[in-house]
Amino acid sequence: MLMEFTAEQIAGLLNGDVEGNPEVVVNKLSKIEEGEPQSLSFLANLAYEARLYTTDASIVIVNKDLKLNNPIKDTCTLIRVDDAYSSFTKLLEAYDQSKPVKIGIEKQSYIAESTTVGNDIYVGAFAYISDNAVIGNNVKIYPQTFIGDNVEIGDNTIIFSGVKIYHECVIGKNCILHAGAVIGSDGFGFAPNDNNSYDKIPQIGNVIIEDDVEIGPNNCIDRATMGSTIIKRGVKTDNLVHIAHNVVVGENTVLAGQTGISGSSKIGKNCMTGGQVGITGHVTIGDNVKIAGQSGVSKSIKDNQVLQGSPAFSYNDYMRSYASFKNLPSLVNRINELEKLIK
């Protein structure tokens, strides 16, 4: 539940214009299709425009340039802003920051005497922090988390329940690691021997996660064989992402669920992958590359490419090829008929 706010107060926070009753009050948030009285919603995707005219939400945030095609309900007040999506996000951030802040060290947790901890930290029950770790100010470590030897965690970082951070890894400031993430497990390094089995190659590197990174639940980021696996500033990953040893992921790149990146590949900055994208090892992906879901990348890609398919190639070429591919059955039938006529 939110505190109560009027449309006029919300418009003042968002630098928006009220269209309707400025005194109407809301105390909760809702999706526009599930709007109910005293709730605040927003419309950013015009695919949901029809819902605007039927919603029971008391306040809806919309873009200033939105033209109404039908009348809205008398019980609904609009707040017009430059960007409805970013404005609603701003409200969500304010709501999230209004929650009580956890501070203190709960019973049944363990912090090694050699560990250095900052001010205003939170450590949940059954968390284990190993020797010589360095924990910054305002770090939140939730229950059942493991922090290995010599790990460094920067200020204002949140480590949710069940995260495992192996020895020597470095986590930057203002990061979020969601439940179940494993940072710094061994890279997949094995050498075949004369006995048709495999010898394990020691993985002596680490993982470095720079500032402002968010790692999704159940991600696995492997430590480098030598040197570092590096996740650069501003990277965001979805659920179930795997990043192998010695990979470098560039600034502000976004990886959707079940993306897998094989060892020693380099991903540029400002890239995007759809779900279930696979990238083979030892390739370089340029900056500003977009890879559609379920694509497989087996070679290096230059800057500013949009790819789809497995193996992936130009998105426009893929769509043209797909248009031909789905017509193959009828084309085969036509060829068979022509062969019959020729005979």
What is the chain's pLDDT, residue by residue, as a tens digit (343 residues)?
457 899 999 999 999 999 999 999 999 999 999 999 999 999 999 999 999 999 999 999 999 999 999 999 999 999 999 999 999 998 888 877 777 889 999 999 999 999 999 999 999 999 999 999 999 999 999 999 999 999 999 999 999 999 999 999 999 999 999 999 999 999 999 999 999 999 999 999 999 999 999 999 999 999 999 999 999 999 999 999 999 999 999 999 999 999 999 999 999 999 999 999 999 999 999 999 999 999 999 999 999 999 999 888 888 888 888 778 788 888 888 889 899 899 8
The yes-or-no answer on residue 245 being catalytic is yes
Rounded Cα gap, residues 64 and 16, in angstroms: 8
CA dist 117 and 241 (Å) reads: 30
C-alpha torsion sign, points 321, 323, 326, 330: negative
Q: Where are the domains of the chain?
A: 5-97, 104-318
- Which of 167, 178, 242, 245 is the catalytic position? 245
Count of C-beta atoms within a 10 Å radius of residue 100: 5
Q: What is the 8-class DSSP label of residue 301?
A: B
* Nearest-angstrom CA–CA distance, 286 and 298: 14
Same fold, 5-97 and 104-318: no
Reported pTM:
0.86
**Coil, helix or strand for 202?**
coil
Which CATH architecture describes the domain 104-318? 3 Solenoid (2.160)
Both ends of the chain: CA-CA distance in Å? 78
> Would you identify the CATH topology of the domain 5-97?
3.40.1390
